[in-house]
A and B are shown apart, each in its own frame.
Chain A
Amino acid sequence: MSVLDTVYDAYRDDFLRWAGQRFPTAGRDDLLDAWHDTMIMFYEQVRDRKLTALTCEIKTFLFMIGYRRLIRMHKKSEKIDLPGEIDVNMQVDHSINEFTWDDEDAEKHEFLRAAVEELPEKSREILMRRFMDGQSIDEIMVGMDYSSQNAVSATLSRSLKKLKDSIIEKMALQKGWKNETRS
């Protein structure tokens, strides 16, 4: 994470300036949002091992992701001219095409997030370590001071089940609520 912070800090202001020039009407908050999303997408691609190497500078790569994000954010509100250098001169890594901007269902995102938040802290931590940080059973055992691999495995599967059940419960509630409001 400290590497992510370093990258974030190193290029944030340059991105705000660079993107600000290309999107003269964009407010600072819009530019910051785009930078946040850029760094999140970048992190997720690295985390999921979809991005393992770059053939261009990391700054160029990030700026292009941010630029695409801003285009998407502004597409509907105003005309945007693609600066020529982006399509022609900049040797952007082809893996940039892996990045897709799914406009998440905000409602779904919220109840998924809430289900995780409601988990006991230890359950949440073990799941995050396993599924988001990609830690092995051994790493979790050492990192969270478990006595055996079996204890880690059992806790993991129990926590995952708890989370799954909570989501199903929330979905059922939401479905019932929606049906009620419709009828």
Chain B
Amino acid sequence: MEERDQILIERYLSGDLTEAERNDIELRRLGDPLFSQQIAEYEMAKEALKAYQRDELKKRFQRRDEVLDKKTDRGSSGGSVIWYILFGVLLVGLISWKLWLSPDKQTNEPPAIEQQQDNQELQDSMPMQETPKDEIEESPQDNNRQNEKRYQEIFAENFEPYRDDLVEPTSRGDDLSAIERMEVAYWNEEYDDVIKIYEELSPAMKQNDNLRFMQANAMMAAGRVKQGAIILSEIIRNGRSKFVGEAHWYLALAYLKSDDVENGRKQLEAYLRLNETKHRTQAEKILKEVN
């Protein structure tokens, strides 16, 4: 092909021809299969440029996401993912250890996350109950007990299952799927039903961290704080739910309820590093108090 034709085709593809020139090309295409084939090949080159630009735009948006997420503490670089995974594994291990493997009440260790009535029973059987009354007025045990009571109060004062338009059901009526029924039950604060309906979900849906977040909240509302906390820590570790940020808040409350102030503090600090938070004022106030 002559260079003159190449330039003509380039101008044709970039829409730079006059109407007369474009008509000439169209006529030539009709009468010359080889020329038509060559134009089709050049059109594919233009398609390739589009594909390339599409990929470049995608990369550009991913870079913007990193910047935007960094502001909200949701960075997802490879390195930080590994740290999140390690942190998550550590967290789950720690919770498991706290909850199940270390229930030795003789050491004055705070009880693990349990229902409030269970906590009271455990507190009643703790050695601090036997502290002689003629000892100093505020023994460390007394302080511990007061702190523990205060953490329970913090939980009671601040815990409310997550509620905003993200969990508002979009479908109502009789012919609802299990997910929709779960949403409606959650919205109607029927938390025992939420827990039951969750069990009806398919195995794949049970892995969905958005639904698990609702499940964790429902469990905490129903007094099953321990199970709720484990789910929340997994949601944070997975990092794929839109509720990851709020999961820090609820996990902090769960830790405080179990008298694990150190981990509670860490979760509150992580929560306050986020840009968008629903419970910022409460979290700041609690952090100030526990510090």
State which residues 132-163 of A face B: CB under 8 Å: 132, 134, 136-137, 153-154, 156-158, 160-161, 163
CB <8 Å contact, A13 and B48? no
The smallest C-beta distance from B246 to any residue of chain A, in angstroms, reads 12
Cα distance A79–B61 when bound, in Å?
Answer: 29
Cα distance A20–B209 when bound, in Å?
Answer: 12
Query: Who on chain A is nearest to B13 by CB?
Result: A131
CB <8 Å contact, B44 and A112? yes
CB <8 Å contact, A31 and B242? yes
Residue A116 at the chain B interface, CB threshold 8 Å:
yes
Cα distance A13–B49 when bound, in Å?
Answer: 30
Which residues in B have their C-beta under 8 angstroms from that of A137? 16
Using a Cβ–Cβ cut-off of 8 Å, how many residues does chain A contribute to the interface with B? Answer: 56
Cα distance A13–B69 when bound, in Å?
Answer: 10
Which residues in A have their C-beta under 8 angstroms from that of B183? 24
Residue B122 at the chain A interface, CB threshold 8 Å:
no
Residue B105 at the chain A interface, CB threshold 8 Å:
no
The smallest C-beta distance from B207 to any residue of chain A, in angstroms, reads 10
Residue A5 at the chain B interface, CB threshold 8 Å:
yes
CB <8 Å contact, A128 and B44? no
Residue A68 at the chain B interface, CB threshold 8 Å:
no
CB <8 Å contact, A21 and B44? no
**Binary contact track B151-176/A, C-beta < 8 Å → 1, others 0:** 00000000000000111101100000
User: Assuming the A-B contacts A24-B183, A32-B65, A40-B58, are A157 and B240 also in contact, with contact meaning beta carbons closer than 8 angstroms in the complex?
Assistant: no
Which residues in B have their C-beta under 8 angstroms from that of A29? 240
Binds A, one of B3-11, B94-102, B125-133, B189-197: B3-11
Which residues in A have their C-beta under 8 angstroms from that of B166? 17, 20-21
Using a Cβ–Cβ cut-off of 8 Å, how many residues does chain B contribute to the interface with A? Answer: 49
State which residues 8-45 of B face A: CB under 8 Å: 9-10, 13-14, 16, 41-42, 44-45
Cα distance A90–B36 when bound, in Å?
Answer: 45
Residue B54 at the chain A interface, CB threshold 8 Å:
yes
* Secondary structure dominating the interface of A: helix
State which residues 110-156 of B face A: CB under 8 Å: none
CB <8 Å contact, B45 and A167? yes
CB <8 Å contact, A163 and B48? yes
User: Assuming the A-B contacts A21-B168, A27-B209, are A131 and B14 also in contact, with contact meaning beta carbons closer than 8 angstroms in the complex?
Assistant: yes
User: Assuming the A-B contacts A36-B58, A113-B51, A167-B44, are A16 and B242 also in contact, with contact meaning beta carbons closer than 8 angstroms in the complex?
Assistant: yes
CB <8 Å contact, A132 and B51? no
The smallest C-beta distance from A35 to any residue of chain B, in angstroms, reads 8
Residue B247 at the chain A interface, CB threshold 8 Å:
no
Query: Who on chain B is nearest to A171 by CB?
Result: B44
Query: Who on chain B is nearest to A83 by CB?
Result: B170
Query: Who on chain A is nearest to B67 by CB?
Result: A9
Which residues in B have their C-beta under 8 angstroms from that of A12? 64-65, 68
CB <8 Å contact, A117 and B52? yes
- 10 additional A-B pairs beyond A40-B54, A137-B16, A160-B42, beta carbons within 8 Å, are A5-B64, A24-B183, A26-B210, A113-B51, A116-B51, A128-B49, A132-B49, A157-B9, A157-B10, A160-B45
18 contacts between A and B (CB under 8 A): A12-B64, A13-B276, A24-B211, A27-B209, A27-B210, A29-B240, A78-B179, A113-B52, A113-B55, A116-B51, A116-B52, A130-B10, A131-B46, A131-B49, A154-B7, A156-B10, A157-B10, A167-B45
- Give me the 10 closest cross-chain CB pairs, A-B, nearest first: A112-B48, A116-B52, A157-B6, A112-B51, A164-B45, A163-B45, A20-B242, A113-B51, A36-B61, A27-B240
